[in-house]
Copies of this chain bind each other. A is one copy, B any other.
Amino acid sequence: MAELGYVGLGVMGSSVVRRLLAAGHTVTVWNRTPEKAEPLLTAGARWADSPREAAERSEVVFTMVTNTEAGQAVTRGGDGILAGLAPGTIYVDMSTASPANARALADEVEARGAKLLDAPVSGTSLTVDEGKASLMVGGDADAFERAKPVLEAIGPKVFHLGGNGTAVTLKIAINLSLAVQMLAFCEGVLLAEKSGIDRERAVEAMLASVIASPMVTYRGPLVLGHPDEVWFDCRMMQKDMNLALELGRDLEVPLPTTSITNEFLTAANGMGIGDKDFAVIFDVLASLAGVETEVIA
């Protein structure tokens, strides 16, 4: 069993740590808001006083933060992860940054004699909890082989895709389909509903069909009503869409469904409902179809 560090205990990060603990690893955690660590400490995790300390104590140290600024905050400075990386350590960044950022960070990590793997996780915390998450990994092949047993504790499907940045790229390539599949699903639901089919019945039948990806299966029912907890709001979804659209322009790949779907996320923000799970694009489309919903009465 390995000595691990984990920095960033949001909903997803906490799910990952629970699986690492359950697999018998020692996990030292740090989070900007310490309260979020409590259930994990109860479950056996240890507390570090800084990201640096989490790195110093670990063979493999992870980060999972929501944006570039938060990433800077936990890696840089005297208390940052970079300062704590001993030679031979593996640093696994599970955040979704831009591929260019991943490559730049890899160079800095290498300068410390350590190795960076970019390993964004696809799916939600539910997928992780159920042991169904797949991990795409970019970076040095040797470092990947060494980290693999630990990564397999997170999810059974672990893919090495190539050098640093490739895993983030693939995550982005996958995530654009989250929003597009959802908007297409909403178009179908509204067609059914305005044809006189009960919305709940329509969702049930659609979830039994060949279009029911795991994403559609857990997010589709949100068109019937949003839970209090928000999984992935419009702004987070749009961050990934923007990364996709930037990549598309740089690599010269047209992205027709991504670009049009992104405008509906913008509309959710414009309508003031962008802080809900991005399934709220249903409500945006419903407003255009003259259909009332819980969210836009």
For the complex, what is the distance from the CA of A242 to the CA of B242, rounded to whole Å?
11
B187 near A184 with CB under 8 A, answer no
Number of A residues near B (Cβ < 8 Å) is 87
Partner pick for A249 among B169, B254, B266, CB 8 A cutoff: B266
Q: Which of chain B's residues have a CB closer than 8 A to the CB of A47?
A: none
Do A213 and B266 contact each other (CB < 8 Å), given the known contacts A191-B247, A201-B161? no
A174 within 8 A of B: yes
Q: Chain A at the B interface: mostly helix, strand, loop or mixed?
A: helix
Let me know if A251 is at the binding interface, CB within 8 A.
Answer: yes
Tell me if A248 is interfacial: C-beta within 8 Å of chain B: yes
Contact A211 B213 (CB under 8 A): yes
A263 at the interface (CB under 8 A from B): yes
A224 at the interface (CB under 8 A from B): no
| Given A255-B263, A256-B256, A192-B212 contact (CB < 8 Å) | no
Indicate if the CB atoms of A191 and B248 lie closer than 8 Å: yes
B173–A192 CB distance below 8 A: yes
30 of the cross-chain contacts (CB-CB < 8 Å) are A122-B209, A134-B209, A136-B205, A159-B204, A161-B201, A161-B202, A165-B195, A166-B197, A169-B191, A169-B195, A170-B197, A174-B209, A176-B191, A181-B213, A184-B258, A187-B248, A194-B251, A194-B252, A212-B214, A213-B213, A249-B266, A251-B289, A254-B263, A254-B288, A255-B263, A256-B256, A257-B260, A259-B259, A259-B260, A266-B288
A residues apposed to B, CB below 8 Å: 99, 122-124, 127, 134, 136, 157, 159, 161-163, 165-166, 169-170, 172-174, 176-178, 180-181, 183-185, 187-192, 194-198, 201-202, 204-206, 208-216, 238, 242, 244-245, 247-249, 251-264, 266-267, 269-272, 274, 284-285, 287-291
Ranked 9 nearest A-B pairs via Cβ: A173-B188, A213-B213, A252-B270, A267-B288, A180-B184, A177-B211, A194-B251, A254-B263, A259-B259
